Amino acid sequence: MDFTDFAMQVASAIDNFTNYVSQKFGAVFDFISAIILGINDPLTAALNFVPAWLVIVIAVIGGFAAGRLPLALLGGLGLAFILAMNLWSAAMVTFSLVLTAALISLAIGIPLGTLIAESKRMNAVFEPILDFMQTMPAFVLLVPAVFFFGVGVVPGVVATIFFAMPLPIRLTAHGLKMVEPEVIEAGEAFGASRMTILFFIKLPLAFKSIMAGVNQCIMMSLSMVIIASMIGAGGLGDEIIRSISRLQVGRGVEAGLVVVILAILIDRFTRRISQKIDPTA
């Protein structure tokens, strides 16, 4: 029996399906594109419009407000290093891609996580889907993204959203399920409705877990946005791919370091800020 034939049939069936979908639901994809570009383009423009020194000053002040001297130093020195590496505008493009993808992931992920925590049926439906999304290798996500959205920023962000969304969903649901049953009972015993309990008891008490999801979502977005440079998302990933193809090791490491610094900055800042605004603290 010839399996090559079978494999070709599967591939062509998938091709047919995606073809059909992209033609039939073109409007939907246009809509998604519009949303992504509607967020990303102004963001990129704004980040590149603001002079670098002003961003650094803001980071220092913000760092001091959220985490005193260590965070202020980290913010100031980290961004100064990026500026010194002459990778400022690439970093801003990457940062805006991260923000766009993370924003959309969280806007979908947190409500979905809430739904999963509240409904056993939704949990049963989404559990395997989430497993699938989480085990899918990052690169594989690029293929359908390119197919439906071509190359450029939009497929990059779409692939990133798929990659970054499962964790905030899971951590939101986990945080809600972990709320002490006695506290929920207290709400019920005083006549609170399900919605009241959700918004006044469960969500505030799940805050830590939800914010861990936010943090992870942003971090995963950053790693995926770099990979998405392969399909033309742009930013720091472009620098890395370019230096790989030109065998410029030094330049590649520089860009890699900037990614690491960006990651550390985003991680520390989101953590400190979420500690700062934690209602249960």
Partner 1 sequence: MESSELAIEIRDLYKLYGPKPEAALGHIRSRSMRPEDSGHFVALNNVNLAIEPGKICVIMGLSGSGKSTLLRCINRLIDPTGGQIFIQGHEITHASTKELRRIRSSKISMVFQHFALLPHMTVLDNVAFGLRIAGISRKERRDRAAHALELVGLSGWNDRKPSNLSGGMRQRVGLARALVMDTPVLLMDEPFSALDPLIREEMQQELLRLQNTLNKTIVFVTHDPNEAATLGNRIAILLKGEVVQYGRPLDIVISPANDYVRDFVRGINVFNVLSAGQIVDPARPPVVLTGTSVTSLPISRSTAGPVAVTDGTGRILGVVEKTASLGASAADWQSALSQDYIRIAPDQLVAPFLEELSRNGRPLVVVRDDDSLVGVVTGSSVLKALAANSGVKSKCEEARQQPESKSAMAAEQRAG
Closest CB 123 distance from partner 1, rounded Å:
21
Nearest CB to partner 1, comparing residues 146 and 211:
211
Closest CB 86 distance from partner 1, rounded Å:
46
Nearest CB to partner 1, comparing residues 3 and 190:
190
**Selected binder of partner 1 within 65, 84, 183, 260 (CB under 8 A):** 183
Longest dimension (CA), the chain: 69
Stretch that binds partner 1, among 110-118, 120-128, 183-191, 208-216 (CB under 8 A): 183-191
Binding flag, residue 1, partner 1 (CB under 8 A): no
Inter-residue contact 191 to 83 (CB < 8 Å)? no
Stretch that binds partner 1, among 10-18, 87-95, 152-160, 195-203 (CB under 8 A): 195-203
Binding flag, residue 279, partner 1 (CB under 8 A): yes
Binders of partner 1 among residues 108 to 137 (CB under 8 A) are none
Q: DSSP for the chain? A: --HHHHHHHHHHHHHHHHHHHHHHTHHHHHHHHHHHHHHHHHHHHHHHHS-HHHHHHHHHHHHHHHHHHHHHHHHHHHHHHHHHTT-HHHHHHHHHHHHHHHHHHHHHHHHHHHHHHH-HHHHHHHHHHHHHHHHS-HHHHHHHHHHHH-SSHHHHHHHHHHHHSHHHHHHHHHHHHTS-HHHHHHHHHTT--HHHIIIIIIHHHTHHHHHHHHHHHHHHHHHHHHHGGGGT--SHHHHHHHHHHTT-HHHHHHHHHHHHHHHHHHHHHHHHHHHHT-TT-
**Selected binder of partner 1 within 1, 10, 69, 189 (CB under 8 A):** 189
Residue with tokens 């015993």: 189
Stretch that binds partner 1, among 3-11, 136-144, 192-200, 254-262 (CB under 8 A): 192-200
Binders of partner 1 among residues 198 to 227 (CB under 8 A) are 200-201, 204-205, 207
**Selected binder of partner 1 within 39, 122, 192, 241 (CB under 8 A):** 192
Binding flag, residue 182, partner 1 (CB under 8 A): yes
Nearest CB to partner 1, comparing residues 187 and 237:
187
d(CA 102, CA 266) in angstroms, rounded, equals 12
Stretch that binds partner 1, among 69-77, 110-118, 157-165, 185-193 (CB under 8 A): 185-193
Distances in whole angstroms, Cα of residue 78 to Cα of each of 42, 63, 69, 155, 188: 24, 12, 14, 29, 49
Binding flag, residue 195, partner 1 (CB under 8 A): no
Residues 220-259, one symbol each (x = binds partner 1 by CB under 8 A, - = not), give ----------------------------------------
Closest CB 275 distance from partner 1, rounded Å:
14
Please report, as ranges, the residues that interact with partner 1 according to CB under 8 A: 180, 182-183, 185-193, 196, 200-201, 204-205, 207, 279-280
